[in-house]
Amino acid sequence: MGLSDTVASREIFKGQLAESWEFPEPGTHVIHLRKGIHWQNLPPANGREFTADDVVFHYHRIYAMGGAILNPALSASESVPAI
């Protein structure tokens, strides 16, 4: 499960953890998360709700692993704040 999933037959995105997203300007991604999504009830998350901080962690991890090379759109982002 990810923030979104590509529906292969129509080449569109369908939100899984994100109910919608927008790109108001280059390098700015606004992701609206679904409410009521919880991690599995195992350490370290212990069933807590999925939050914007989890998305920030994910993006930072992608950057640390050189993910901007895999997705050039990410290289335009200078920071990833949780709002």
- CB 32, CB 23: distance < 8 Å: no
Task: Check residue 41 and give its pLDDT.
Answer: 96
Q: What is the pTM of this model?
A: 0.67
Residue 63 sits at φ, ψ, to 5 deg, of -60, -45
Task: Check residue 47 and give its pLDDT.
Answer: 95
In the chain, the domains with their CATH numbers are 4-75 (3.90.76.10)
pLDDT digits (tens, 9 = 90+) for 7-55: 555 555 677 888 888 888 877 878 899 999 999 999 999 999 999 999 8
pLDDT digits (tens, 9 = 90+) for 57-73: 887 887 777 765 555 55
Alpha carbons within 13 angstroms on the beta-carbon side of residue 9 total 0
Mention every residue, 6+ apart, whose C-beta is less than 8 A from residue 48: 38, 39
Q: Which residue has the higher pLDDT, 72 or 79?
A: 79
